[in-house]
Structure 1
Amino acid sequence: MAEIISGQDALDTLESSGNTGGNDKEFSSFKGGSKYVVKAIGTNDLFGFYNYGIYSKGGGGVPSFVAKKPSKKSDKGFPQEDLTSWDKAFLHHYENSKEFGDKESNEAYKYKPKLRFALGFFDLDSGERIVIDVSKNQANAIRKPLLKQAEKGKLGKVAFELEKESDGSVSLTPIVDLDDLTSKQQENFDKAPEEFKIEDFHGVNFEADEDEMLRRLVQSGFDVTKIGYEIPKPKEADGEGEKESAGEPLEISSDDLPF
């Protein structure tokens, strides 16, 4: 089963200084220009996970996924044991890098497991729980005003505007006066659940087994024979044709970049 970093472990990972197939639930869209009016149920509605995939600004790339059988990693997220094919591709380039920022270093970053966080809120427009996928720096930026309101004892008394700009920056702005909400938003605010149950979303990521990871590694353009694999055979199409695997390319921000 894919690794999930929950509870205090997730908080420790989020607050540390180091770099670091689903169910019917899905991540809510949180791209540049996204805006939600939300209620925060608690301060610990989050979990962390290590994600693979390659973002391509012009489209394409490799859709994001998590490993069904994850590798063991150091506290800073460096793969150490039970390596996946993507971990081996990362290490192949990493070990050939002469200096930070060179071609091999940049290639290594493409295959590196990237620490991401899922944060949960209650959407006051839809009246449903939502979970967004963010980087570590983005998660910290969102949680700072959240914790500030919690310290004041006002967490359940204010709404928030959750927003992502086109440059990848994120914000969570308190709406102290609930009269500023629409009647529908006020109604949903009053009937919001008292508990979020973030565990319900642990299967939100697409989990790839090693065969699927290897196919995606070939899709990325990496020569898998360099790390001891044979080129895998294409998936057999079913009667309706081969279906595209789940997962979407990540929209990255500056803190996702290697330098």
Structure 2
Amino acid sequence: MRGASVGAPRPETASGADVLADLPEKTRRRLEALDTVLFDFDGTVVNTVELITASFRYTLPKVLGITLPDEVLIQNVGMPLLQQMQIFDPEKADELVRVYREHNRRYHDSLIEEFPGAREALLEVRQAGYKTGLVTSKSRELTLRGMRLFDLEPLFDVCIFCEDTTKHKPNPEPVLEALRRIEGEPRRSAFIGDSPHDITAGRAAGVLAIAALWGPFPRQRVLAAGPDVVLQSVGQLPELMRSTTAGRANASGPASRQRGPSRS
């Protein structure tokens, strides 16, 4: 089964070279062939855990008169918001979405945070020559609002929002749509995300699925989805890419092309 041989995740202090050394030869070869890297947004590039849980804590008592543990509130994050609310109450899903978004917009800028080192990692991946894309189940409005807070928008060649596809993660359609727009091939692409939905979508799309364990999901839930590569910290990403390109120093590929922080 693909992803099953990834082995025990290295500790957060491990280098990208250590992560690369632990991978099966087939996975290392695929990493060396990469020219496109796609990213999830919430929980991968930005830390929205407190924003999301606070909005749920406000919404469910107000609309349904119930309170639930945080781990239950966030267990379906990564799916479109309406789908998450339909799980709580199909008949009141629209009202749940309205109240949630009302709270989320009000507190968005004060509760969202950038993961330390995330922007630097993205910039280094671009400067190494990789095409980059964002694939999220979040709305265009709120995703762009978060991106602009941290000047992230120029670091992506393509962005796929909830409105851009009819199917959503864990379905592979958003990942495939990003590749279509960026002219990427699944066999030469990777998708990095923190949720089981990201890993499932990536695997179904035929790209390398890379788990970002710095997000809010329990480690075992993410690993159970079968990622090809497991990263403990955002700092391991550029180190992994540097180690990969160093291993193919005599081959042509992304390492020979320099990309600046411009977005088409």
Q: TM-score scaled to structure 2, two decimals?
A: 0.24
Larger radius of gyration: 1
User: Greater share of helix residues, 1 or 2?
Assistant: 2
Structure having the larger proportion of residues in strand: 1
